Structure 1
Amino acid sequence: MSKKDTLKKILCSPGSYIQEPNAINELADQYRTLGSKGAYIIVDPFIEKTYHDQIVSSFESSNTPYQLVVFGGECSDNEINKHVAALGENDAVIGIGGGKTLDTSKAVAHFGKRPVIISPTAASSDAPCSRLSVVYTDGGEFDHYLPLPKNPDMVIMDTTIISKAPVRFLISGLGDAYATYFEALACKQSNAITMTGGHSTNAAIALAKLCHDLLIADGPKAVAAVRQGLCSPAVENVIEANTLLSGLGFESSGLAAAHAIHDALTVLPGTHKYLHGEKVAYGTLTQFVLEDRPEADLREAYGFFRKVGLPTTLAEIGVENPSDEDLLKVGELACSKDDTMSNMPFEVTPEDVAIALRAATEVASVY
């Protein structure tokens, strides 16, 4: 399907989005709106150790059947298949944890033909609300996108847990969310087909713009509060921006260079210890170089990233003194036909990406 083959516009969203303190205490009640035979709960290992009693309390007190399993660490085909095979009679999937745990849960629910509840324990990415799983190899390299036929049936944001998560996760979410509006603009300009199979709506662009504006207004204040484990009004706004607004904005408006560059950067082993949003942030700066964006945008982006603690150089995402060959390899992967670089409103070559990756670090010294 070419970019101009259809006039279809699509806006998609989860069935329900719930954001409140101590929301995890009502997990069994929410599950029972979807199933009765048993909840298959996939939980991040750290979260299982830290919040086990809270996760199971509502199931135990109401005699609601459940099976709790610990996530293996990578959203890979092997991990997904393992859980699909173990579903048994359970009639719904619940994912609790970070982005890879949640993407695995969505994929398991899809292949297992069950409804799914997603409960992020950090506002670290825009993955929770989307009808998409990002699949990696068992070694942590990007493998492929897995488009899903529907969004999660329910997304539950426990602001008490999220505000006590390490602040780095919230900061990563800021990086992921900041890309949303600028990738949406690129897709709108190129008339791109989004992952939903249609063009963006005015509503999706407006949500992406609201996401951006909330980040600029409340991002630094939210980071300050979460450093102390506090959930202030700014934290509430940023949780919504990082998760709901960015999720709806990216999925219904489209991805472009920033995420294609993120995906390609995973081929460099030094980047593996960095979070999704940290690499997306550097991808956004690289996209700005490719677009030759106005000075005001550069000042805003570099200034905001420094203020909240996002990377502005290659070294800050684990790429020390890269060779031209390394950067060209990233460029080749970023320009793959299977990624989203083609949504840019002009042709981008692997050589363009390699130059922009290096230039974005140099621009940091100016702004």
Structure 2
Amino acid sequence: MNRFSYARATSVADAIRLHGATPTAQFLAGGTNLVDLMRENVLRPAAVIDINRLPLHDIEPTQQGGLRIGALVTNSQLAWDARVRKRYPLLAQAVLAGASAQIRNAATVGGNLLQRTRCVYFYDPATCCNKRAPGSGCAALDGVNRMHAIFGASEHCIATHPSDMCVALEALDATVHVAGPAGARTLPFGELLRLPGHTPHRETTLGADELITAVELPREGYPRHGVYLKVRDRQSYAFAVVSVGLGLRIEDGVVRAFGCALGGVAHKPWRDRQAEALVTGASVDVALAVERFADALVARADARPGNAFKVDLARRAIMRAFELALAPQADAAGAPDEEDRE
């Protein structure tokens, strides 16, 4: 048995103080990932800081016309919020595509951003994993790597980030609010998660003892042409082989705004803004522009033998997501997943 202390924080400042008192402390919210990791002996925190009583449970409008989502808002609350469903359909669809209804009832927005990879080697302490034990090697490089990264990987790690929500937040240009010993700060969502490089065990740019307090959505949510497409091995409760979060704003036949992020293909949601420039401003044939965008994006892939199929799958998924984004939608958040009909 791994012994650890437990403390319940009464404020954000108190949570930061308690976390700083123990080098290996972990914040506890929904616990849907942390508890699994502790059970598997992948994580052995000396202290667990319960933050569930902090005032971070609200979804509120911002002065800029967006929404501020507290870090302790559950995935279910987020997905079924009327404002999110109407104004940010690709986010609502992404959340409903992740996990089971029971897990979504417990999992939180802040925890979703910080969940760890589901690489089987990371979860097995008997194998080599630079993310779990820096310097030990990466068993996935020459092992079973069907589910692993085709973008942004390194010789030290080819794991993927498992979140569906994060793919949508990247496509939407969300921002993240953080509090820490030095005070509060805000950073673009794309700067929160890191590529593996030489230090795959460092997964975020958060400083020591920093706590995510909220996620902020911009005014632009692609309410008419936003979609999240998830390709997975089974319809219910499975991680993405490839996923696409895509949104367009078209005015007078011209693409005025465009955002696209991929999931299941990199250590973080993958976005290629240089390739997106092929779509933004397109007016003659938007479908052709998206096809060129997809070709340019996958041209930068670096696949392993076990996951080379993802390159063409990603291209086809982008094109299909574009078709769905332009199709009439009866419900802004789309139809419920099969798991929600069970």
Fold in common (TM above 0.5): no
TM-score normalised by L of structure 2: 0.33
From the two aligned structures, give the one with the greater helix fraction: 1
TM-score (norm 1): 0.32
Between Structure 1 and Structure 2, which shows a larger proportion of strand residues?
Answer: 2
